[in-house]
Amino acid sequence: MSEPICKVADIIYVRFELIEFEAQKKYFNHFGLMLAHEDDNSIFFRGSGMSPYVYVATKGKENKYIGTAYKANEYSDLEALSKEFDVDIVENKDPGGGHKVTITDPDGIEVEICHGMSPAEPMAVVSKVLNTGQSKQRENELQRFGRASAEWEVEGDKWVYKLKSNVKRLGHTAINVRDAKASVDWYSNVLGFLISDDVIGPDGNSIGAFMRCDQGDKAVDHHTINNIQLPGDEYPGPYGHSGYEVTDSVDDLMAGHYHLTTLNEYYHEWGIGRHLLGSQMYDYWRDTHGFTHEHWTDGDLLDASIPENKASFRDVVMAQYGPMTPSTFGVTMPVDQIDKVRAEQPPLSALIKEMEKAAQLSESNND
């Protein structure tokens, strides 16, 4: 493979267009993000880490995913992209400043490459010390989260758990692609992504990949982008989900799960479980517009020396443990349509069963 145009360092934020902001502001307050800046045309949300923001939405005529932004290692990366794609390097007028170029991937997703953004002041967090069967490090100290039992409050006729997740950063996006090879090749050749897991369909062909940034001997997240060509003839649209790392391990994730569950205002998409590809503990929720956002923690870290792995579609759909993946997973849709779709379409585990049976029958016939 020839050298890529650049090698991005990390993901920074996702960009959306929304008709109105109030519902999204309320959702992200419960999800565990903090409003960093707003004006008449835009809202910006941040986590507890150093990114000035991890989510931005601008006001528009429809609710849609626009694209994703990545951090460049050097200003020269912007110059190389500007020359290759004949686009201008522009001053970033949004919080954090710096400069950026905007290009478009094979599925029409805007990709912003940023350099020189000023970091935000990280929020101070004291991590919990966990006792396990193998390691007992916490002695003479009682483990309590938030206000302990006082986090449970009665609102109307229901108990609501008030302690939220504390999101630290955006870790990855999952996108739906029309042509898996074209997408994987583009992110490899343009932005320098490495394949962590090449996902192989029942017919033996790749249907996408889990890809990570190439930062040499520095270990990075198992995947920063997951580009998957979903089965079926109809393209479901580009947005799968955004994955946000919580600040303080599994208890942080569980707190957010019970906060959102007891609110009973938002649609729970999938979880809690542990992924096979990437190893993260996960919990997926939809906002009021039908876009899916993930809380995750405890993911794998890989440097550039780790070779590409071949994985099956089963490895994507069937978690190490957790509930079966619903048929709606990975597809953006209005929340009032979800129950109908799930009633009409079996969970993805049933699709896996059919695909594996068909592959076994084909092998038997060939024998």
Model confidence pLDDT, tens digit, residues 330-358: 999 999 999 999 999 988 888 888 877 77
User: What pTM was computed for the model?
Assistant: 0.95
121 or 361, higher pLDDT: 121
Pairing of strands 55-59, 42-46: antiparallel
How far is it, in rounded angstroms, from Cα 15 to Cα 113?
13
Would you place residue 362 in the very low, low, confident or very high pLDDT band (cuts 50, 70, 90)?
low
SS3 317: helix
pLDDT higher than 90, residue 93: yes
Number of C-beta neighbours around residue 78 at 10 A = 23
363 or 189, higher pLDDT: 189
Q: Is the peptide bond before 11 cis (omega within 30 degrees of 0)?
A: no
How far is it, in rounded angstroms, from Cα 367 to Cα 364?
5
pLDDT tens-place string over residues 261-309? 999 999 999 999 999 999 999 999 999 999 999 999 999 999 999 999 9
- 209, 213, 215, 216 alpha-carbon torsion, rounded to 10°: 10
**Sheet with 110-115: strands ordered across:** 34-38, 42-46, 55-59, 10-18, 64-71, 110-115, 99-104, 90-91
In one-letter notation, the amino acid at residue 263 is: L
The torsion angles phi and psi of 113, rounded to 5 degrees, stand at -110, 120
pLDDT higher than 80, residue 246: yes
327 Cα distance to chain centroid: 18
- The answer to whether 257 and 180 have CB atoms below 8 angstroms apart is no
In one-letter notation, the amino acid at residue 198 is: D
Q: What angle do CA 276, 6, 303 make, to 5 degrees?
A: 35
pLDDT tens-place string over residues 129-148? 999 999 999 999 999 999 99
Domains in the chain: ranges and CATH: 10-120+164-344 (3.10.180.10)
**Least confident stretch, 1-15, 167-181, 272-286:** 1-15
How far is it, in rounded angstroms, from Cα 52 to Cα 57?
14
pLDDT higher than 90, residue 367: no
Would you place residue 1 in the very low, low, confident or very high pLDDT band (cuts 50, 70, 90)?
low
The DSSP H or E segment spanning 255 is helix 249-263
Mean of the pLDDT values across residues 13-32?
A: 98
- % of the chain residues with pLDDT over 70: 99
- The b-or-e profile of 130-149 (16+ CB within 10 A means b, else e) is eeeeeeeeeeeeeeeeeeee
The torsion angles phi and psi of 71, rounded to 5 degrees, stand at -95, 130
